[in-house]
Amino acid sequence: MIKTVILLSFLFLGNAISAQKLSSTDLKALRKKEDSLKTLSLNIIQGRTAGDRFLADSQFTKIFVRALKIKNSFYYPFDSLITISKLSPPDSAFKIFTWQMVINDNVVRQHGAIQMRTADGSLKLFPLIDKSDVISNMADTIGNNFGWVGAVYYKIIETQASGRKYYTLLGYDENNIRSNKKLVEVLTFDNGQPIFGGDYFTYTQTNPAEQFGKRLILEFKKRASPRLVYDSDQNMIIFEHLVPEEGGDAKKRYTYVGDGDYEGLKWKDGKWIHINKVFTLTTKEGEEPVPNPIRDANGNIDQTKLKDKGFAGTEDEEKPAKIKVTPSKIKVKKNNN
């Protein structure tokens, strides 16, 4: 309890310090811009036509950049922008914003930006330019913010090795009408410039459902929903094993679905080490769990099983009590007709 109170105190203190960095004038200006951004961010997703969505995205980007230029905007949460992913690592070195725009059933583009934390509260921003349509091998490409493999990120994991920090991103891409993608992307900074991808994966075996290289990409059938999560208890990225659906073509990734088995990635010495099977518990033949009913085939209760389960009652006690009704207590209203 004491630890919880101390933790909450630090959180409140951190929020208070962040709030103090924004002047009342700047805070008011940011709130006003957020009101406009909220409507536009929804229209990027809900716009009836591609033209409507393009216009909303263009207007959103312009106003968003103006908002970020306000001093100490880094500390403003933009909480009402629910269609915009907003992530920051534990060290709060930067914020990464990502969102998507559906052009048509077969073309989806991701947009985004990285806002760096600065000592004087000024804006240092890296726009993220989705080049997925011109990158020939997305799994094996290292790029900067102008050669970004687009995704909407939903988790960021901060790790270290040899005094250097690495930020691993888990992302989602509504690829096209037939398939979706999830990916594991390592972000680093080289002389202050963002770099996406690199030799950060070591694999124990090659799975045809995955593309192993500078990033991990899982492509799967549109209606499938394989898991890709970070388990903080195990300190491991866990993802579902993919196989072609029954009758599917192994060469066509849009036929892949999860099979209920799980693989993992464990961080060690600057690499994500592939673990082929995360859950290895097996049951020997003949030791499978079987039902152990209290009643036998004839419907009689086995009292020994009740005792084993910690019940001291009898069969009579298990049955619902009967309600006795005394006729003298029942009043019948006579019909005078």
- Which tens digit of pLDDT belongs to each residue from 38-79? 999 999 999 999 999 999 999 999 999 999 999 999 999 999
Q: CA-CA distance, 153 to 125, in Å (whole number)?
A: 18
> What is the C-alpha end-to-end distance of the chain, expressed in Å?
74
Q: Quote the pLDDT of residue 297.
A: 64
Element (H, E) at 287: none
Q: Where are the domains of the chain?
A: 16-129, 147-308
Q: How far is CA 50 from CA 55, 56, 102, 103, 328, in A?
A: 9, 10, 7, 5, 80
Task: Please state the pTM of the whole predicted model.
Answer: 0.77
Q: Quote the pLDDT of residue 205.
A: 61
Share of the chain above pLDDT 90, in %: 68
How does residue 277 score in pLDDT terms, banded at 50, 70 and 90?
A: confident
Whether the per-residue pLDDT at 214 is higher than 70: the answer is yes
Closest C-alpha to 108, from 179, 43, 195: 179
Decide: 170 and 190 in contact? Cβ < 8 Å.
no
Span of 1-15, 87-101, 197-211, 260-274 with lowest mean pLDDT: 1-15
Whether the per-residue pLDDT at 248 is higher than 90: the answer is no
- Which tens digit of pLDDT belongs to each residue from 278-302? 976 544 555 545 556 666 667 676 6
Q: CA-CA distance, 84 to 188, in Å (whole number)?
A: 22
